[in-house]
Chains A and B, each alone.
Chain A
Amino acid sequence: MLNIVNKSPLDRNTLQTCLDAGTGGAILLIEDGVYAATRGNAFESKLKAVQGNYKLFALGPDLDARGVGDRVSDGVTVVDYAGFVDLVTEYKTCQSWL
């Protein structure tokens, strides 16, 4: 499953809820969700811990819009909107954690 998270884990608990659901597959961080993909953020260790179960992606334009495009954690793949579309088609289902 492709899990889409659009809020910072410092603001909402949707990323945590997503991890608790334990679907495996992939997590795509978009909008304020991209803060979770930055080096040194408070949620970084939690994402590191699930890297065996999930492929991690973050939306490049949203990283750049927030000035953190050069601070992406290791293990997170940056994609553009075309890559976002490809992820949606690649996984059989997608869930937006709103």
Chain B
Amino acid sequence: MKLAILVNEGPYTHQASDSAYQFTKAALARGHEIFRVFFYHDGVNNATRLTTPPQDDRNIINRWSKLAEEHKLDMVVCVAAAQRRGIVDEGEAKRNGKDATNLAPGFRISGLGQLIEAGIQADRTVVFGD
């Protein structure tokens, strides 16, 4: 089955990001297709490569990046939510005159249309949030 995942909560907040990750991993292990993981609201904070948790803690961002690399996941960050929270790729840095970028590998910045498309294309959309 084709599944879409929506993550509305930042990392290290409550548990939504962890739950979404564990669900996505389990769905892939079950042989399902993940059409897209969409990060919205504070969920866009899952996409900053500058996160440095203590060494004995899970690295939520790297974990997403690794999963995306292993399974060719399409992980999309909402552009408007990202701009508000300072999540920047090269295109956004150029467009908004920023001197740095911080988008982690495996993520891309795009618009809400990508969430709508995921809702249409996927058989189920599972929402994780606060």
Q: Which 7 A-B pairs have the closest CB atoms?
A: A81-B26, A96-B127, A98-B129, A31-B15, A85-B27, A85-B26, A89-B1
Judged by a CB distance under 8 angstroms, whether A64 is at the interface is no
Judged by a CB distance under 8 angstroms, whether B8 is at the interface is yes
Please count the residue pairs between chain A and chain B whose beta carbons lie under 8 angstroms apart in the complex: 52
- Report the separation of the CA atoms of residues A30 and B29 in the bound assembly, to the nearest whole angstrom: 20
- Report the separation of the CA atoms of residues A89 and B25 in the bound assembly, to the nearest whole angstrom: 15
Footprint of A on B, CB under 8 Å?
A: 1, 3, 8, 14-16, 19, 22-23, 25-27, 29-30, 32, 123-130
Give the number of chain A interface residues (Cβ < 8 Å).
19
Contacts of B8 in A (CB 8 A): 98
Contacts A4-B126, A85-B23 aside, 6 further interface pairs with beta carbons under 8 A come to A4-B127, A31-B19, A84-B23, A88-B3, A93-B124, A94-B125
Q: Is the interface of B mostly helix, strand, loop or mixed?
A: mixed
Footprint of B on A, CB under 8 Å?
A: 4, 6, 30-32, 61-62, 80-82, 84-86, 88-89, 93-94, 96, 98
Say how far B32's CB is from chain A's closest CB, in angstroms.
7
Contact A84 B129 (CB under 8 A): no
Contacts of B129 in A (CB 8 A): 6, 96, 98
Contacts of B128 in A (CB 8 A): 6, 96
Given the known interface contacts A6-B19, A84-B23, A89-B1, the answer about A96 and B30 at a Cβ–Cβ threshold of 8 Å is no
